[in-house]
Amino acid sequence: MAAGPGATSDACHAARAGGEEVERVKPFTPEKAKEIIMSLQQPAIFCNMVFDWPAQHWTAKYLSGVLHGKQIQFRMGMKSTDTVPQFETTCSYIDATVEEFLTWNCDHSSISGPFRDYDHSKFWAYADYKYFVSLFEDKTDIFQDVIWSDFGFPGRSGQESTLWIGSLGAHTPCHLDSYGCNLVFQVQGRKRWHLFPPEDTPFLYPTRIPYEESSVFSKINVVNPDLKRFPEFQKARRHVVTLSPGQVLFVPRHWWHYVESIDPVTVSINSWIELEEDHQARVEEAITRMLVCALKNAEDPHNTRAWLNPTEVEETSHEVNCRYLNGAVSAFFDHYRTSKVVENQALRTNGEYMKKEELNVYSLMEVEQTGSQNLPLGTVKQEAASPFGPDLVPVVPSSEEPPSERGSIFENDGKDFVGKDREHFGKLHCTKRQRMMSKSENAAVEQIASNSITAPSQTFVSTDDLLDCLVNPRVTKIVAQLLIQGRSL
C-alpha cells in the first residue's frame, strides 16, 4: 500500500516476517536517488532511505547532551493569527542551551534563565539555520552521522547541513530559496509544509524586504491570508504535506514554502544541493544586495534592523557590495571557462543554452525561459516510467477550497497518486521558444491593471515600493543576463 505523506506508514518502517526483523534494503541506489532529485520538478517524500543513519536518534534531548552547556540563538515568535507574516525582523532573540529550551518547553513551572520573560502559552521558540560547522566546531566526528551520499552526493555529510530545533508553532515565513534544491530529513516531531510552484510567484507577491541573501519572501501570511489586500493569492496552487520522523522531503528549485512545527518538539536536518543554475543566481543575488543596501542605507543608515534580517551579519557598505558583485560575476565566468562552455558553446541560463549572439535584450524580453519551473504541472514528457511508488511519494496540490475556508486545509495522503503500479509522471520540459509573455507575466500585468483601477488615489511611493519593482526576481534575472552579456563580448 502506498505511503501517505501525512504520517509515517508501514512502508517507512522495518519489514518483518514471522515476528523477526529482516534485513532492510534501501529502495533507491545513490545513483537512482540522484537521478530522481536532478530530474523531478515537484516535491516528493523519500521513505526507507535513512533508517541506518546515526542521526535518526538526534532527538532534542540527545542533542542537549552533545551540546551540553553550549548556548545557541533561539528566535522567539508570537503564537498569533495575524494576517501579516511574522518576519524574523519582528521577532525577539535569546541565547540559551537546548537543555534550557526543553525545560521551558516541557516544564512550564518556575522557569528561570533566558526564557523567563516568554510565556510558553504565548510564544514559540526556534533554533533555526544552525550550520553544523559552527554548532559542532569541536565535535567534527558527528558530521558522519548524516549520510547524504545515500542520495547520490559522495562525501556529503553533516558538514554541509543545518539543524533546526523548534517548539509547537515555530515557523518560517513563506519564501523561496534562490540557490539549489533542498533535502530535509525529519528527525523528531512533525512539520507541516505549505508549498507553491515557481510559476505561481506573481500570486505570492514577492518582496526582498526584509533582505536576506538567497531568500525571496512573500508578503502574505499563507496560513491566514488577507485576500482583500492580496486577491491574486487565490490563484496560487497550494501543496500541503506533513513530514514525519524518518522521512526525507525533496523541495525542487524555486518552490515557495512555509514550514511550521505541529508537535511540542521538532528536530530536522537539511542540506541545500547546488545546481548549475546557481552560478547565474549568485549574480542576481549580488545585484539585489547592492540595490537593497544602497537604497535602504540611504533612507536610514542607522536603522538596519527594520529591513535587514538578523542572519545577515556581513557589512553592507557599497564598497563591500561592489566586491561581492564582482566576485559573483568572476565566479560565473570561471566556472564556464573551466567547463569550456562560454567560449565555444553556449551560456546556460536557467536550463536553456543560448548562443552569445542570441543573448540580447530583445530575446530576453521575448522568450519565456524554458526551465520547467515555468510550465503548468500538467505538462509532462512521455518518456520514462514514473519513479513514484511506496518509497517515493509525490506531494500533489491540495483540494481546491473557497478562499474563506482555507483555514482548514486538507492534506494529501498520496493514495490517489500512487494507487496504480508505477503510473507515469515524466519530467516537465519545454522544447521551443514561447509566446511574448509567460502565464506568470500575463498574471502580473492583469494584477497591475486591476490595482490601478481599485487603488486609492495617492502619489506617495516609498523606498520599499521602488525596491519591489527594482529587485523583482524577473527584473534581476534580465539585469544579470545583460551584465553577463556585456562582460562576455
**pTM score of the predicted model:** 0.76
Q: Assess whether 239 and 337 both reside in one domain.
A: no
Cβ neighbours for 380, distance < 8 A, ≥ 6 positions apart: 424, 425, 426, 427, 428
CA distance 411 to 136: 36
Q: Assess whether 117 and 242 both reside in one domain.
A: yes
Residue 391 lies inside a defined structural domain of this protein: no
Residue 436 lies inside a defined structural domain of this protein: no
Q: Assess whether 241 and 339 both reside in one domain.
A: no
Residue 335 lies inside a defined structural domain of this protein: yes
Q: Assess whether 175 and 320 both reside in one domain.
A: no
Strand, coil or helix: what is 207? strand
Residue 35 lies inside a defined structural domain of this protein: yes
Question: In this structure, which amino acid lies at residue 202?
Answer: P
The model's confidence at residue 360, banded by pLDDT at 50, 70 and 90, is: very low
Mean pLDDT, to the nearest integer, of 22-51? Answer: 95
Q: Assess whether 312 and 264 both reside in one domain.
A: no
The model's confidence at residue 421, banded by pLDDT at 50, 70 and 90, is: very low
Longest dimension (CA), the chain: 76
Tracing cell 483601477 back to the chain, one arrives at: 453
- Angle made by CA atoms 281, 267, 72, in degrees to the nearest 5: 80
Domains in the chain: how many in total? 2
Residue 282 lies inside a defined structural domain of this protein: yes
Q: Assess whether 38 and 171 both reside in one domain.
A: yes
Q: Among 253, 275, 297, identify where a domain stops.
A: 275
pLDDT tens readout for residues 122-150: 999 999 999 999 999 889 999 999 999 99
More confident position, 208 or 112: 208
- The neighbour count for residue 231, using CB atoms within 10 Å, is 16
Q: Assess whether 191 and 298 both reside in one domain.
A: no
Q: Assess whether 126 and 246 both reside in one domain.
A: yes
CA distance 101 to 84: 27
pLDDT tens readout for residues 55-106: 999 999 999 999 999 999 999 999 988 999 999 999 999 999 999 999 999 8
Q: Assess whether 269 and 285 both reside in one domain.
A: no
Question: In this structure, which amino acid lies at residue 205?
Answer: Y
Residue 66 lies inside a defined structural domain of this protein: yes
Mean pLDDT, to the nearest integer, of 32-51? Answer: 97
DSSP letter, residue 380: -
Q: CATH no. for residue 98?
A: 2.60.120.650
List the domain range (segments joined by +) for residue 328.
276-352+473-488
Q: Assess whether 199 and 335 both reside in one domain.
A: no
CA distance 113 to 69: 13
Residue 333 lies inside a defined structural domain of this protein: yes
pLDDT tens readout for residues 275-307: 999 999 999 999 999 999 999 988 887 888 889
Q: Assess whether 317 and 261 both reside in one domain.
A: no
> Is there a cis peptide before residue 210, judged by omega within 30 degrees of 0?
yes
Q: Assess whether 34 and 113 both reside in one domain.
A: yes
Q: How many CA atoms lie within 13 A of 179 on its CB side?
A: 14
More confident position, 480 or 434: 480
> Residue 140 has which C-alpha cell?
567534527
